Homo-oligomer: A and B are copies of this chain.
Amino acid sequence: MPGNSFGRVFIITTYGESHGTAVGVIVDGAPPGLFLSEKDIQQELDRRRPGQSTVTTPRSESDRVEILSGVFEGKTTGTPISLFIRNENADSSAYEPYRQLFRPGHADFTYQKKYGRRDWRGSGRASGRETAARVAAGAVAKKALSELGIRICGYALEIAGIRAETIDLDAIEKNIVRSPDSSTAGLMIQKIEEARNNGDSVGGVVELLVKGCPPGLGDPVFDRLDAVLAHAIMSIAAVKSFEVGTGIHVSRMKGSEYNDPFIIQDRRVRTETNNAGGILGGISTGEDILLRAAVRPTASISKVQKTVSVDGKPATIQVSGRHDPCIVPRIIPVAEAMVAVTIMDCLLVQGMYRSYSQGQEKSEKI
């Protein structure tokens, strides 16, 4: 309720500040009997890790995850899975200059207003570092979903105005910006480097695809699948818009253009087009679920900006330091994690994933 948990039956609860001892997450509600190792989680964390390429922050954190509970003899037990990541490369002194200043575009001012105080070291709880815990939790969800043949796939549809022209899922992890169009990746990288050289930052658009989701998922009327996915995706700090299917463009379409005709294909009900993005009336159709999120340019820039001090005096600020000039490539695994957690939760809420109690039946025979 104070906002650090997400989910209803598959529940993740994160903790940790950027420069505190650790960040971590408790994953509650994972089904028992699932094979799960630190390696499963580490490979997702490595996709979010700082310092992974020339377009991310050079700050280096190994982000080693440790499973503290919930796994026994290599498999989940149905009890809470506690995932722990010790903070390493925290240099709080670099934040000293901003201790008394509200950085524009950051949560310094609003945290101060809400809580009356704040941990100013490395943005504290408002830091993007918190998303490492989400990625770790998402890895558990992804593992469970993969057993049902459900796959979540995110990519940089657009960076700094450069848009991917083709969507090749195999291309994504082969370039450092995670573009699904290898021919545009180079230009995206160039735009990011230009921004960095100017002490500035750029934004972009992340697109997300859920493949293999069964029809019938989602709870009208308030917990429609698209509504809970919107909640999940908009909970990522840098995201400023959310779209499903055709998204914002529906506003200029006619009903006759937008409605997806139903057809029969391979003895299943399908839609001929997928303007709805795989969701009708808040419930999945069985088609690919298609989502998009606009990502703001990184708030930390070294250009001079106007601001005020904590004690209410006008000031200027230059946020130097090791920041990502574009957060899009590193936000992709975070967005995937949030989608994975949401889908997993919806399946469990509806009893469509034979629940964290699935062991029930197996042991019935004694």
- What CA separation (Å) do A80 and B220 show in the bound complex? 10
Q: So how many copies of this chain end up in the complex?
A: 4
Closest residue of B by beta carbon distance from A158: B251
A220 interface neighbour in B3, B106, B229, Cβ under 8 Å: B3
Instruction: Tell whether, in the assembled complex, residue B82 and residue A16 are in contact, meaning their CB atoms are under 8 Å apart.
Output: yes
A114-166 contacts to B (CB < 8 Å): 114-119, 124-126, 130, 158, 160-161
Chain B residues, Cβ within 8 Å of A21: 66-69
- What CA separation (Å) do A307 and B286 show in the bound complex? 16
Instruction: Tell whether, in the assembled complex, residue B202 and residue A254 are in contact, meaning their CB atoms are under 8 Å apart.
Output: yes
A350 at interface by CB-CB < 8 Å: yes
Instruction: Tell whether, in the assembled complex, residue B230 and residue A242 are in contact, meaning their CB atoms are under 8 Å apart.
Output: yes
A199-236 contacts to B (CB < 8 Å): 200-205, 214-224, 226-235
A1-42 contacts to B (CB < 8 Å): 1-9, 11, 13-17, 20-24, 26, 28-29, 32-33
A307 interface neighbour in B11, B24, B202, B262, Cβ under 8 Å: B262
Known A-B contacts A11-B1, A110-B281, A241-B242; A221 and B130 likewise in contact (beta carbons under 8 Å): yes
Q: How many residues of A contact B (CB 8 A)?
A: 165
Among the 9-residue stretches A44-52, A54-62, A179-187, A289-297, the one with 4 or more Cβ atoms under 8 Å from chain B is A289-297
Known A-B contacts A105-B280, A355-B350; A5 and B222 likewise in contact (beta carbons under 8 Å): yes
Chain B residues, Cβ within 8 Å of A314: 263-264
How near does chain B come to A357, taking the closest CB pair, in angstroms? 4
Known A-B contacts A9-B1, A359-B115, A360-B114; A240 and B246 likewise in contact (beta carbons under 8 Å): yes
